[in-house]
Amino acid sequence: MYFQFANVLIFVALAVGLVALMTGLSWLLRPNNPEPGKMSTYECGEPPTGGAWINFNIRFYLVALIFVIFDVEVAFIAPVTVVYKNWVEQGLGLFAFTEIAIFLTILFVGLIYVWAKGDLEWVKRVAPSSDQDSPDMREAA
Protein backbone atom coordinates (compact mmCIF):
# COMPACT_ATOMS: atom_id res chain seq x y z
CA MET A 1 0.00 0.00 0.00
CA TYR A 2 2.79 2.43 0.81
CA PHE A 3 4.31 1.78 -2.60
CA GLN A 4 1.52 3.75 -4.32
CA PHE A 5 2.14 6.70 -1.97
CA ALA A 6 5.86 6.45 -2.69
CA ASN A 7 5.17 6.79 -6.42
CA VAL A 8 3.15 9.95 -5.84
CA LEU A 9 5.81 11.32 -3.49
CA ILE A 10 8.54 10.67 -6.06
CA PHE A 11 6.58 12.43 -8.82
CA VAL A 12 5.85 15.41 -6.56
CA ALA A 13 9.53 15.61 -5.59
CA LEU A 14 10.55 15.44 -9.26
CA ALA A 15 8.06 18.18 -10.17
CA VAL A 16 9.24 20.48 -7.37
CA GLY A 17 12.87 19.75 -8.23
CA LEU A 18 12.33 20.47 -11.92
CA VAL A 19 10.60 23.77 -11.15
CA ALA A 20 13.41 24.74 -8.76
CA LEU A 21 16.05 23.75 -11.33
CA MET A 22 14.44 25.77 -14.14
CA THR A 23 13.90 28.80 -11.89
CA GLY A 24 17.50 28.64 -10.70
CA LEU A 25 18.86 28.30 -14.24
CA SER A 26 16.82 31.24 -15.46
CA TRP A 27 18.05 33.32 -12.52
CA LEU A 28 21.68 32.44 -13.32
CA LEU A 29 21.53 32.80 -17.11
CA ARG A 30 19.28 35.80 -17.66
CA PRO A 31 20.75 39.25 -18.27
CA ASN A 32 20.15 41.75 -15.52
CA ASN A 33 19.98 45.26 -16.94
CA PRO A 34 16.93 47.10 -15.55
CA GLU A 35 15.97 50.35 -17.19
CA PRO A 36 12.96 52.65 -16.78
CA GLY A 37 11.25 51.29 -19.90
CA LYS A 38 11.40 47.74 -18.57
CA MET A 39 10.21 48.72 -15.13
CA SER A 40 7.11 50.59 -16.37
CA THR A 41 3.63 49.13 -16.61
CA TYR A 42 2.92 47.47 -19.96
CA GLU A 43 -0.34 48.56 -21.62
CA CYS A 44 -0.64 46.85 -25.00
CA GLY A 45 2.57 48.44 -26.30
CA GLU A 46 1.37 51.96 -25.53
CA PRO A 47 2.90 54.24 -22.94
CA PRO A 48 0.79 54.15 -19.78
CA THR A 49 -1.49 57.12 -19.23
CA GLY A 50 -2.96 58.11 -15.89
CA GLY A 51 -2.87 56.12 -12.70
CA ALA A 52 -3.25 52.39 -12.45
CA TRP A 53 -5.97 52.62 -9.79
CA ILE A 54 -9.15 53.35 -11.70
CA ASN A 55 -12.77 52.55 -10.95
CA PHE A 56 -13.64 49.34 -12.72
CA ASN A 57 -17.19 48.92 -13.98
CA ILE A 58 -19.05 46.54 -11.67
CA ARG A 59 -20.95 45.06 -14.62
CA PHE A 60 -17.81 43.17 -15.65
CA TYR A 61 -17.97 41.33 -12.33
CA LEU A 62 -21.67 40.56 -12.75
CA VAL A 63 -21.11 39.07 -16.19
CA ALA A 64 -18.13 37.09 -14.87
CA LEU A 65 -20.17 35.77 -11.94
CA ILE A 66 -23.01 34.66 -14.20
CA PHE A 67 -20.48 32.95 -16.47
CA VAL A 68 -18.90 31.15 -13.51
CA ILE A 69 -22.30 29.99 -12.29
CA PHE A 70 -23.18 28.44 -15.63
CA ASP A 71 -19.67 27.07 -16.04
CA VAL A 72 -20.02 25.28 -12.70
CA GLU A 73 -23.39 24.02 -13.90
CA VAL A 74 -21.68 22.32 -16.82
CA ALA A 75 -19.06 20.89 -14.47
CA PHE A 76 -21.83 19.37 -12.32
CA ILE A 77 -23.89 18.01 -15.20
CA ALA A 78 -21.07 16.56 -17.32
CA PRO A 79 -20.36 13.61 -14.96
CA VAL A 80 -24.06 12.80 -14.77
CA THR A 81 -24.28 12.58 -18.56
CA VAL A 82 -21.41 10.08 -18.55
CA VAL A 83 -23.10 7.66 -16.13
CA TYR A 84 -26.72 8.33 -17.12
CA LYS A 85 -26.95 5.22 -19.32
CA ASN A 86 -25.81 3.03 -16.43
CA TRP A 87 -28.39 4.64 -14.15
CA VAL A 88 -31.14 3.92 -16.69
CA GLU A 89 -30.05 0.26 -16.77
CA GLN A 90 -30.23 0.17 -12.94
CA GLY A 91 -33.71 1.72 -12.97
CA LEU A 92 -32.57 5.12 -11.64
CA GLY A 93 -33.01 7.02 -14.91
CA LEU A 94 -36.14 8.93 -13.90
CA PHE A 95 -34.62 9.87 -10.54
CA ALA A 96 -31.44 11.21 -12.20
CA PHE A 97 -33.44 13.05 -14.84
CA THR A 98 -35.61 14.66 -12.15
CA GLU A 99 -32.55 15.78 -10.18
CA ILE A 100 -30.99 17.34 -13.29
CA ALA A 101 -34.30 19.01 -14.20
CA ILE A 102 -34.62 20.51 -10.69
CA PHE A 103 -31.01 21.73 -10.80
CA LEU A 104 -31.50 23.34 -14.21
CA THR A 105 -34.82 24.86 -13.15
CA ILE A 106 -33.22 26.54 -10.14
CA LEU A 107 -30.48 28.00 -12.34
CA PHE A 108 -33.00 29.06 -14.99
CA VAL A 109 -35.15 30.83 -12.38
CA GLY A 110 -31.99 32.61 -11.18
CA LEU A 111 -31.22 33.69 -14.74
CA ILE A 112 -34.76 35.00 -15.22
CA TYR A 113 -34.50 36.90 -11.92
CA VAL A 114 -31.21 38.53 -12.95
CA TRP A 115 -32.66 39.33 -16.37
CA ALA A 116 -35.88 40.80 -14.95
CA LYS A 117 -33.89 42.86 -12.43
CA GLY A 118 -31.99 44.36 -15.37
CA ASP A 119 -28.53 43.27 -14.30
CA LEU A 120 -27.76 41.84 -17.74
CA GLU A 121 -28.27 45.20 -19.43
CA TRP A 122 -24.91 46.81 -20.01
CA VAL A 123 -26.21 50.38 -19.78
CA LYS A 124 -28.78 50.74 -17.04
CA ARG A 125 -31.34 53.50 -17.34
CA VAL A 126 -31.90 55.45 -14.16
CA ALA A 127 -35.25 57.13 -13.86
CA PRO A 128 -34.88 60.77 -12.82
CA SER A 129 -36.18 61.43 -9.34
CA SER A 130 -38.98 63.96 -8.99
CA ASP A 131 -37.25 66.10 -6.36
CA GLN A 132 -33.92 66.67 -8.13
CA ASP A 133 -33.53 69.18 -10.92
CA SER A 134 -37.13 69.04 -12.04
CA PRO A 135 -38.26 72.02 -14.17
CA ASP A 136 -40.81 73.03 -11.51
CA MET A 137 -38.12 73.27 -8.83
CA ARG A 138 -35.92 75.49 -11.03
CA GLU A 139 -38.81 77.85 -11.82
CA ALA A 140 -39.67 78.19 -8.11
CA ALA A 141 -36.11 79.24 -7.29
Condensed to tens digits (0 to 9), the pLDDT of residues 38-92 reads 777 766 666 667 776 777 777 788 778 888 888 888 888 888 888 888 888 898 8
Condensed to tens digits (0 to 9), the pLDDT of residues 85-116 reads 888 889 888 888 898 899 889 888 988 888 88
Is the entire prediction scored with pTM above 0.75?
no
Q: So where are the chain's domains?
A: 58-117
Residue 127 has, within 13 A of its CA and on its CB side, a CA count of: 3
